[in-house]
Structures are given as C-alpha cells and as structure tokens.
Amino acid sequence: MLAWLTQFRRCRRAGVRVSHEQLIGMWLRRIRIAEVLEAVAIAAEAGVEFPVDHAEIAYLAGGRPIEQARAAVIVAGRGQPVELMAISACDLCNYDVVRLAQDGWDLSKVVGAADGPGEGYRRRPA
C-alpha cells in the first residue's frame, strides 16, 4: 500500500493525473499499482508521453512497463519518434528493449525482421 501511494505522489509531482477510478480498477485487476505508476512517472519526468492505460495493458499482457518506459525515454532522447506499440511488441517477444534502444535499433523494425538483432538481445530463451 505504501509503495503505490509513494508512486502516486511521484506521478502527481510529475504532472500525471491518475484518477481514483483508475487505481480501483488496477486493484480489482490485481495489477501491481506501484510498477505501473513508476513506469508512468519515469516517462513523465523525462517529458515522454506514456499513458497509464498503456502501462496497464503492458503489465496485463506480461510485459515489463518500467523497461518499456525507460526504452521510450532513450528513444525520445535520440530525437526519434516514440512508438509505444513497437516497444511493447519487442518487450513481449522477450527482447531487452532498454538494451535495444541504447544500441540504436529501430524498435519498429525489430520484431519479425530477418536481419533482426539476434539472440544476444533476448532476456530469456524464447
């Protein structure tokens, strides 16, 4: 309880509005509220739009919203457009999205590409 309350305050300071209805909905869906709010706060503090709904969907799909937010911040820092669906797709295919973003891969072309990044970028065996 204390963890998500801390993240809720952090989101408020970063200018992200999270309604009580959203928090109750996350609780009912058994989402780790602190993890979702931390991902949103990381992106908001860096000036990147990362909606709460996207973080919830990423979590429910089995992804890692905090890593996705960090990858979005790295991509935005390079001046490239942030494609949240491409970042999520890479994450759900077990790629280390933070490492891909740091190494300069175009995340919209990674999944399904014949000349993709290879097994060295996988978090765990597929």
pLDDT in tens, 59-99: 999 999 999 999 999 999 999 889 899 899 889 888 889 98
Compute CA distances 30 → 38, 59, 63, 69, 84, whole Å.
Answer: 16, 10, 15, 21, 23
Q: Is residue 66 part of a domain?
A: yes
Instruction: Please state the domain count of the chain.
Output: 1
Is 99 domain-assigned? yes
Residue 24 lies in a domain: yes
| pLDDT tens sequence across 12-62 | 787 788 888 888 888 899 998 888 888 999 999 899 999 999 999 999 999
- The answer to whether 47 touches 74, Cβ cutoff 8 Å, is no
Residue 126 lies in a domain: no
pLDDT at 69: 96
The residue segments making up the domain with residue 68 are 2-121
Res 117 pLDDT > 80: no
Whether the Cβ atoms of residue 106 and residue 71 lie closer than 8 Å to each other:
no
Give the pLDDT score at 116: 65
